[in-house]
Amino acid sequence: MRIAVHEVSKGKKGHALPTTSLEIETGHARFVLAETELRPTVLGLIATGRMRPDTGEVTIDGTRNDRDLRRRMALVDAPEVSDPHPGVTLAAVVGEELMFAGLPATPLHARRWLEQIGFAELATQPIGTIKPSVRVRVMAELAVLRDDVEGFVLVSPDRHGGRPEGWWRIAAEFAERGFAVLVIVGGSAAAVIERLPEALETDYPSNATVPVRPLADVTGSTAVMAADPREELLPPVDVEQAPAEPEREETPPPDERRVSSQAPAGSSLDDPEEDPAPSLDPEEDPPSSLDPEEDPPSSLVPEEDPAPSLEDPQDPPAHTPTETENGAER
């Protein structure tokens, strides 16, 4: 199975996801750089056929078939979409996934399944307190329980902390078991992964952002594929800087936080540009808060009232001498 994500983007001017191309293949674990709170989830949804891009296309084995893509690729631990609530126990998470896989899903079955993979003692712990590597192991094992799943996209495992080597080698293990694995990571994790010995020695690039070629050009011998990608992997800085620069310029952080809470809804991805306007309303309040400062001039008006009131008593003396003078003239 080969999945080609070709020049996809999402949102106005690519705010939700800038133009991105990558490839995923059976038997290989690959990573792709996607930062900010929103973009990793958007990329994961598009790469697994769960969201339509505004530009570009996603093909599986050379054809566009979103239903087949959703059936064969799982989306693992995507924020706001498929990640479990941090307060739910590990046994409860396992029970739910067993149910989705069509397996017995009672609390007893969940505990037995955890015992089989060596984590029975963690059954009652909230999943938000589980070590990152254990979390990735459990979530990935649950994802591949479904009969039709041939691969998965793991979204932002580095957000849970821990050393990238731990969960990356788990992803590589699943690739060795015959699954297609894509891990969406941030810049710091990508810098660590691309310098691991297994990433440097592989005959196929670990970085999924190599230029997408037509499937007819890559279905031949892997030796030809190994030559070019290896050269493209040597300057990893280019891969990191290309998406990083437009990300900082195009999407201010307040924009992303506001849109990310709406990530599950496809229509909300077109709103990033419209959000700054309402977000600036609180900043426009200070002018209204200055109104009290404009009141003091109005409060000075009463101070001007005494002045004319003081002139009033002085006017009669001014008039009385004129009257006396008139009287004298008379």
Domain boundaries, the chain: 2-88+126-273, 290-329
- State the DSSP code for 84: P
Q: Is the pLDDT of residue 55 over 80?
A: yes
Distance between CA atoms of 330 and 322, rounded to whole angstroms? 12
| Cα 116 from Cα 94, distance rounded (Å) | 12
Residues 47, 40, 132, 171: is their CA dihedral positive or negative? positive
Distance CA 40, CA 76 (A): 12
Cα–Cα dist 164/91, whole Å: 25
CA–CA gap between residue 205 and residue 185 (Å, rounded): 16
Whether 1 shows a pLDDT value over 70: the answer reads yes
At a CB cut-off of 8 Å and minimum separation 6, what does 81 contact?
41, 44, 45, 75, 263, 264
Q: Within a 10 A sphere around the Cβ of 35, how many other Cβ atoms?
A: 20
The pTM of the full predicted model, rounded to 2 decimals, is 0.63
pLDDT > 70: what percent of the chain? 61
Strand partners, 59: 4
Q: Which residues pair with 89 in a beta bridge?
A: 126
Name the residue among 143, 183, 139, 182 with its Cα closest to residue 164: 183
What pLDDT does 320 receive?
Answer: 45
- Which pLDDT value is given to residue 195? 84
Average pLDDT value for residue range 6-30: 92
**CA-CA distance, 96 to 98, in Å (whole number)?**
5
What six digits make up the tokens of 148?
């039709």
Average pLDDT over residues 288-293: 44
DSSP helix, strand, coil percent of the chain (3-state; round to 5): 55, 15, 30
For residue 181, the cross-strand partners are 29, 152
Residues 203-261 pLDDT 10s: 556 788 754 444 443 333 332 233 333 333 334 434 344 444 444 444 444 444 433 33
pLDDT greater than 90 at residue 134: yes
| Residue 36: predicted pLDDT | 87
Q: Which residue reads 């070019």 in tokens? A: 228
Structure tokens at 212: 């997408």
Kindly state the DSSP code that residue 126 receives in the 8-state scheme: B
Tokens linked to 64: 């566009």
> What pLDDT score was predicted for residue 90?
96
The 3-state DSSP class for residue 171 equals helix
DSSP secondary structure letters along 187-202:
HHHHHHHTTSHHHHH-
- Confidence tier at 201 by pLDDT (50, 70, 90): low
Q: CA 16, CA 19: separation in Å to the nearest integer?
A: 10
> What is the domain class of 2-88+126-273 according to CATH?
alpha beta
